Amino acid sequence: MKNIQLLSGIALVALSFTSCKDEKQEKAQKTIDSYVAYVDSVKNVKADDLKADWKDVEAEYDRRAAEAQTALADIKDNSAATEKINASKVKYEEFKNEMTTVFAPPAPSPQQQLRNSLFGEGKIGEDMNFDWVNAKNIHSVYQQFVHTVENNKDKYSREDWDKIKIMYEALDSRKNTVEKEGLTSEDNRKIAGLKVKFAPMYTLNRMGAKSEENKAAKK
């Protein structure tokens, strides 16, 4: 009788252990299925709706991916589950790359690219607002402008030179205001030197660009 009770006890413990093990595997499988379903659901959301919440989407993906990877350890034969996870990883990375392209801001226009090169990224827009130029930074602004023109003078078209002249005159106009706001005599002297360098460079190279355009037109 005692032996029967002992065997029954062992059987109950084994059954309980098996049951716990099965529950653990079942929970792990559900975690992996949830991860796979999340990737599929994200792919079905419109790009415009995703854009505003993309950081949250990525954070949730990272959380679910980590949980799915951990869950693999609780599945005895996890080759099929591993394959499912890897397939969803590839699917998500492809989708992420696609969305990165979709969410990327449009390339700036040629005119904006010219402004960016002369003044710095996004410093000057179509409104030609120079309020950010002050007594402390105006010398460096002139410096970047003139040195950029000097380095690229052989690449500019006549139209580029005309745009450069307009921006140069707008900067000069800002200088008239800045002079009353504490521009040092030292910076004023350095700016004068840059202006002396720019004037003949503009005249000669614009004439050269126009001449080249005329030759090309005749051909």
pLDDT at 140: 97
Domain that residue 189 falls in: 110-218
Share above pLDDT 90 across residues of the chain, in percent, rounded to a whole number: 52
Higher pLDDT: 22 or 18? It is: 22
140, 201: one domain: yes
> Is it the case that residue 46 has pLDDT exceeding 80?
yes
Domain end point (choices 67, 88, 103): 103
Which candidate, 93, 62, 86, 76, places its Cα nearest to that of 29?
76
Q: What are the Cα distances from residue 123, in Å, to 3, 67, 154, 163?
A: 89, 45, 24, 16
Say whether both 62 and 86 belong to one domain: yes
* pLDDT tens-place string over residues 110-157: 999 999 999 999 999 999 999 999 999 999 999 999 999 999 999 999
- Domain edge (last residue) among 75, 103, 131: 103
What is the value of pTM for the model shown?
A: 0.57
Q: What is the pLDDT of residue 125?
A: 92
Q: How many domains does the chain have?
A: 2
Tokens, residue 176:
């008239």
How far apart are alpha carbons 16 and 185 in whole angstroms? 89
Do 204 and 118 belong to one domain?
A: yes
Question: Highest-confidence range of 1-15, 44-58, 68-82, 152-166, by mean pLDDT?
Answer: 152-166
Greatest C-alpha distance within the chain:
116
Same domain, 163 and 191: yes
Single out the residue in 85, 103, 121 at which a domain terminates: 103
Quick one: 148 and 73 in the same domain? no
* Residue 51, pLDDT score: 84
Helix (H) or strand (E) holding 94: helix 79-103
